[in-house]
Every structure is written in C-alpha cells, then in structure tokens.
Structure 1
Amino acid sequence: MGDNSVFNDTTEDVNNSVEKVKPSRPRTYSSKSAKKHPFPWFGLDIGGTLVKLIYFEPLSLTPDEEGEEQESLKSIRKYLTSNVAYGSTGVRDTRLELKNVKFQGYIGNLHFIRFPTDQMEIFVNMVKEKQFATLIDVFHATGGGAFKFEQQFLKEIGVNFNKVDELDCVIKGIHFVQHKCGLNGHSECFSISNPLETDPIKKEPFDFRDPYPYMVANIGCGVSIMLVKSQTDYARVQEQVLEEALSSVYVVC
C-alpha cells in the first residue's frame, strides 16, 4: 500500500475511465411490511459457484416483540443459529460472525452461511419447510443468480426478489463494517506487511478512518475494479488504466 498523495498524478486518467454505479432502486413493500421490514432479516448473494446468505439474529427484542413472534420465526432462528452445518454442503462460518451489531434500531449478531449454487433446490425446500413466506414476501438478493432464480422463488415459494447491484452492496458493506460498527474489538480491514513472502503472512490492522481514495478488487467468477472516493462517490474503472492506478492508490480485496 502506498501513500495517498501519489494518487493525484493519475486522478484525471482514472476519472475519465470510470463507469458510475447506478444507485439501487428502492422497493415498495406490501402492507405486511408497511411499518417495518419484518423478521427474519437476511440477504442473499447468489453467485455462479456459491450462494452466500447473511442472517441478522436480533438480541434486543422487547418482551412485547418476543410475545408476538410466530412459532415459524422462532424455528427459523433456532435452525440457523444452533447449527454450523446444514445438510452435507451448507456451512455457517463462525469465524466471520459479527457480534453485537447495531442495525435498524436493534442489537444483534450477523451470521454468514454459504452453500453451493447447484444445491439451490435444497435451500428452496428448507424455505418451504420453515414457512418463510408466512413471515415475509420479499427476499433481498444480489448477484447473477438473483435473476436466474427469481421466477423459481416466485413460483414455488411465493416471494419476490428485491434485486440490488452487487458492487453497490460491496462498497456499502465495507463502509458499514469499518465506519459504523466497533465489531469484535478490532478492525475487519487489514494490510499484509510482507507481501513478497509466502510463509508466514503477517496481517496488520489497517486504519480505515480516512482511506480515500482507494480501490476495491471484487473477485468472483469475474473481477471488477472500483475506484472509491467517498462513501457515496465510487465507480467502475476501465481496464486500460488499471496498471497505473493500482500502483498508486489503496486497494481493498
């Protein structure tokens, strides 16, 4: 990682080679969720190889809220949080769990679950079994699979997908974790102090209070590069300026 100041020499070139990310269009919810988006709270990132599910486990429900909970909601929470494996392929990664997160007026834990995309039918059956559709009628989803599986979820379960831009989610997620939460007692962002060595790799906490500008390399089935100037100003970078730009700004992978 280099000094921010060296970015100035390439700002103009990069600015001319970016594609603005369109903000996600807000969705209008049905009367079932007019006051507040009902529990359970979770999001899906449906990639070509893996489906990543993030689940918010509320810890600060009021006695009235607990009393109003349906049995199906309690069953979902118990199933997702009391297991670390779901069938033969689903995994809840406890190393990634974020504890005591303040979110939308609640305090709770964020759980990260993954399973192969080619096992989507198993997830669909679990959603049916746990009666998700009796609680919510919208799943928030991103990734190419949000388009691929949208009709299957609507036809078999009766829920719609609120599809959001994947890179928009990545940037907002980075800023949420680093700027809004004192999570797990340490920064979730780190640098590698000995990048030319392979064993052992040394991780150093990275001060994310004023990182701008920086670049994000989002690596999945493909690779997308984003130039981030602030929490709200970011854009895709075209390939021809990557070599120069990557050598002169912070990069978050």
Structure 2
Amino acid sequence: PSEKVYWFRNKRERDVAVVFLLDMSASTAEAIDEGSSPGSNNGPPDDPVEYMMWLRSRREGLVKRNYKRIIDLEKEGVALLIQALESIGDTYGIYGFSGYGRENVEYYIIKDIDEGLSDSVKKRIDKVSPLHATRMGPAIRHATSKLHSQTAKTKILFLISDGRPQDRGYSREGVEKEYAVHDTHMALLEAKRKDIMPFCLTVDKSGHDYLKAMCGDMRYEVLADIWTLPQRLPLLYRQLSV
C-alpha cells in the first residue's frame, strides 16, 4: 500500500445538558384540524367567574375524545426525544409551565435534570394536561438556574409553545401582551449571558409577528405543519447539539 495514505481517528465525546420547557397553557387543549389556529386565542378573562367557564370549556372532552390536541403532539414529541436522549447519553430535564397572574406561577417537574428515566417519569408525561395561561418568563428563569448548575460544555434551553407569551397581571390592560413579549425576551437574554443556548419552537403560524421581538438574534422556528411536531423535535435537537 502507498505510504501516502494517512489515517486519523478523532473521537469526540458529547458533553451536553438540555432543558425542555413544555407549554401547558389552556390553549394546548384545542383540537387540531386544518382550520385551527393555535395562537389565535385571546387568553383567559379577568373576571373569576368568566375565567372558570373559559377554563371548563377548554377542558371538556378530556376523558372521551376522538381527536388530537396540541398538547398530545407535544407529549408524542417528548417520547421520541427521550428515546434519542437516552441512546446518546445527554443530560436532560423536562418541565411544564403555565400560570395565572404573578401570584400563581406554575412550573411542573416532568423529569428533573438530575433524575433518571423511570416509570414515575413516564406517568408524569402521561398526566401532562392543559392548565392556565402562558407565563413564560419565570419558567425560563427557573430553567436557566437548573442549567447553570450543570458542568456540561454545551447547554441548551429548548422552549416549545403554541402561541405568544401572555398572562394577567403583567401590566395595565392594553399593553400586557407587549410587556409579556419583552419580559420573555429578557429571560432568554439572561440565559444567553450565562452561556446557555436558547431555542424557541412554536406551532403558531403567526409566530413571526412576536418571535422577532421575543428572540432577537437568538434562534427560533415557526412550525408550518403542526402534525410534524413529534418528528421535528429530535431533528432540531440534533442540529442544535452538534
């Protein structure tokens, strides 16, 4: 054989930690069809009585249904992600978020970042269900603290939502949506400053309208076809974690 042949083996070890944040807002209970518009909801009403009626209307049919909801596709995507993450050995945590006002911020541990995969984790995934509004800022900040404590070289914060950030009590009426977008932007920026790579994925086709302001120069994607969400999640993660 020719002496000019040169062989080189470059063994690369992965050192990745990732947190997935799942939107558990009430709008994820909406049935998926060709005419649906996941991000078009107006959010929960202020009046407590109207709010309970609004919430009940979105929870109807949870026991008996012959259709898929947005949150069902989120859960299918998580199941595929877990298979991939377990095979490559990355450190990962999965959390859900919702809220109704600053005094009721909801952050659910589906799989803690230092927790192994178990039957308990699988049961928590199965129990993930739509709750209240889309209060992103506190969830992002808490996820950032989880990732910041990890020693991995690559840290990724992966946010999955069905619409814009919005919640009651952010600010005076009329500017709440704008305030929510800027608060979320600051939370993402705080993560970036701690060497964490934020990435936002939404199934809201009008997402470009607010994601440009929310993410700035950080990466995001608006999914054109919501039905591709389960398959798209592992592909996106592979691209981000290379």
Would you say same fold, with TM above 0.5?
Answer: no
Output the TM-score relative to the length of structure 2: 0.30
Output the TM-score relative to the length of structure 1: 0.29
User: Of the two, which has the highest radius of gyration?
Assistant: 1
Flag the structure with higher helix content. 2
